[in-house]
Amino acid sequence: MLKVRNIEAGYGKLRVLRRVSLHVAEGEIVTLIGANGAGKTTLLNTIAGLLPPRGGEIRLNGADITTATPQKIVRAGCSLVPEGRQVFAPLSVEENLILGAHVRRQQEGKRALTEIEHVYDLFPVLRERRTQLAGTLSGGEQQMLAIGRALMARPRLIMLDEPSTGLAPLVVKTIFGIISRLRDEGNTVLLVEQNARAALHIADRGYVIETGRIILQGPAEDLLANRDVQRAYLGHGPANE
């Protein structure tokens, strides 16, 4: 589905991503774990077309999207759920969702909005609050709205950036349950998380990024068993072993 090869990216003089290669196959949940500032968000933004790469190649279902615009990438089937949710606070829940279908509406017209029922089925709480302003939702509901908004574009690949940030543990559990369900319904997921344990538990495969370089990759269960990963990201210090 997604193939990234030798991507270089950065801001000004700062090199953030150094020759990063990864892939996501259809129907997989792949997680990218790493510390703050390792380059996780930069990678998602680069794939989504928000940041032009300085080198390398990105392919989505065989098509070269390395230099494509964000709209084109969404149309090609890849949606990003950004960090911090970024819902439109002064708009209602439903208006937020309709905005998510924006790209499809240009081509499909009203038909693009039928997806909204599917999103409401997935998140019944959003149906309850359809007329409520997004800004008044709880953190977890806002996260559901952000995911729902991305689903309105009917993506084949959903990229989620730190969906658990700032959420209570119980809500985090709900969100990860939803991500698993997305995969079970045939979606493909690229998940960036600081909560490495939760991410690796639902993922098929994972990549570990350190200072812009991929240093480990493999089946999620192998990464969970890797001592470097345990020490650095799962909080298994020598003290609590």
Residue 214 lies near other proteins (rule: CB under 8 A): yes
Which stretch, 19-27, 123-131, 142-150, 170-178, contacts other proteins (CB under 8 A)? Answer: 19-27
Which stretch, 92-100, 141-149, 163-171, 208-216, contacts other proteins (CB under 8 A)? Answer: 208-216
Going 175 to 180 to 185 to 189, the CA torsion angle's sign is positive
Residue 21 lies near other proteins (rule: CB under 8 A): yes
| Min dist. Cβ of residue 216 to other proteins (A) | 6
Instruction: Sketch the per residue contact string, 132 through 171, with other proteins: x for CB under 8 A, - otherwise.
Output: ----------------------------------------
**Binds other proteins by CB under 8 A, chosen from 99, 125, 216, 234:** 216
List own/partner pairs for 137-143 with CB under 8 A and 24 or more apart: 137/87, 137/93, 138/171, 139/85, 139/166, 139/167, 139/168, 139/171, 140/167, 140/168, 140/171, 140/174, 140/175, 142/85, 142/87, 143/85, 143/167, 143/171, 143/175
Quick count: other Cβ atoms within 10 Å of Cβ 31? 28
Chain residues binding other proteins by CB under 8 A are 3, 5-6, 18-19, 21-23, 25, 213-218, 222, 225-228
